[in-house]
Amino acid sequence: MDFSSTVKGSMLEGFYPKHWDMKKIDECCSHAPNEITNRMPFWHENFSPVPCENLGDFDVMMGHEIALEIKKAAEKKQKIAFILPVGPMGMYKWASYFLTQWQQDCKHVFCFNMDEWADGEGNTITGEASFQHAMEKAFYAPLGRLTVPVSQRNFATRENLPSYPEKIAALKKEGAKLVLVYGIGRMCHIAFWEPMFAEEFSSDEEWLRQPYRIGAQLHPLTIEQNAITSFKSRTTLVPCRANTVGPALLFQADYAIGGADGALGRGMQWQGMSLWMTLRYGPTRFVTSSYIPTLPGKLFFLKELAGPLVAEAN
């Protein structure tokens, strides 16, 4: 007895994206934990998942990867642009630590926050719950005099998000490297580009041309994921919409640094299925994160997320 054998006529019938192949998802999640790094034919030759023993290692390794990209670009006298998430977050402490230890300034760094809470018109949230506040506190402030210039920090407001494509294109024309930093959502979104958006497009090619969305509707499981991870379980505080970058910006990255740290303690977690789907499902617009392995880069993940993903009493 499982999901597929009982979903007919239930409240979950039609709840998940209709193009999600639940049998295929189940197969993705059925492998032994040590198989998670086995290479798939559709992976980029320079893509690799990197297991981390614990959250401390995860934060340090991911933070070092970000800082190293900044340092290498400076040594090449090259501009570097980042598309940045607010979640995961622990890596920013270590990125700023390494940069300050190396006395590496960020004058050549341009940052684009990938999303922000919003209403239906794209008006964004302000204050401590905003992604802008989180970024200023976690990354820009600790860098002190070495920090990214204010004029080179971009946030996903209704007014500024539409300028991202032109700004990034201009930087790339000048030789800048574009680095995507990301987490993976419960619904396999990258940024807040939800899988149900795929139904609006006739092909993956058309979907891949979408640069951003203002006031995007979020999936109910995205709301609940954020209630758990960011709002101490209080669903009533979570906005139901957000401004977000889209595939045209996400997947033109020259390099990608990802993180999956969705463990909850006492053996519980929320991200194992999303991680296995990202690595095994195969590229399709109906699973946004399935395109991640087609990019060069590293995906850091907590080893416990690999499973085994089996039923367990808690």
pLDDT reported for residue 18: 87
Q: pLDDT per residue over 271-303, tens digit each?
A: 999 999 999 999 999 999 999 999 999 999 999
Q: 15 in a domain, yes or no? A: no
- Number of domains into which the chain is organized: 1
Query: Among 125-129, 142-146, 147-151, 164-168, which is the least confidently predicted range?
Result: 125-129
Q: pLDDT per residue over 73-122, tens digit each?
A: 999 999 999 999 999 999 999 999 999 999 999 999 999 999 999 999 99
Taking the model in full, what pTM does it have? 0.97
Q: Residue 243 pairs with which residues in a beta bridge?
A: 116
Q: Residue 204, class by beta-carbon neighbours within 10 Å (0-12 exposed, 13-18 middle, 19+ buried)?
A: middle
Query: Residue 313: which pLDDT band, with cuts at 50, 70 and 90?
Result: low
What mean pLDDT do residues 217-240 have? 97
Question: Which H or E run includes 111?
Answer: strand 109-113
What mean pLDDT do residues 189-211 have? 98
Pick the closest to residue 152 from 140, 138, 143 (CA basis). Answer: 140
Q: 195 in a domain, yes or no? A: yes
- Work out the number of other CB atoms within 10 angstroms of the CB of residue 36: 19
pLDDT at 254 over 80: yes
51 in Cβ contact with 303 (< 8 Å)? yes
Q: 14 in a domain, yes or no? A: no
Q: Residue 115 pairs with which residues in a beta bridge?
A: 244
In the DSSP assignment, the letter for residue 219 is P
Task: Record the tokens describing residue 104, joined without a space.
Answer: 């590496």
Domain extent at residue 162: 41-306
pLDDT reported for residue 314: 62
What mean pLDDT do residues 51-60 have? 98
Q: 167 in a domain, yes or no? A: yes
In the DSSP assignment, the letter for residue 310 is -
Residue-averaged pLDDT of the chain: 97
Q: 298 in a domain, yes or no? A: yes
pLDDT at 312 over 80: no
Residue located via tokens 């299925």: 273
In the DSSP assignment, the letter for residue 153 is E
| Residue 182: CATH number of its domain | 3.40.50.1360
Q: 55 in a domain, yes or no? A: yes
3-state class (DSSP) for residue 138: helix
Query: Residue 311: which pLDDT band, with cuts at 50, 70 and 90?
Result: confident
What mean pLDDT do residues 178-200 have? 98
DSSP 248-266: HHHTT-SEEEEEE--EEET
Provide the CA 23 distance to its chain's centre, in angstroms: 25
Q: 313 in a domain, yes or no? A: no
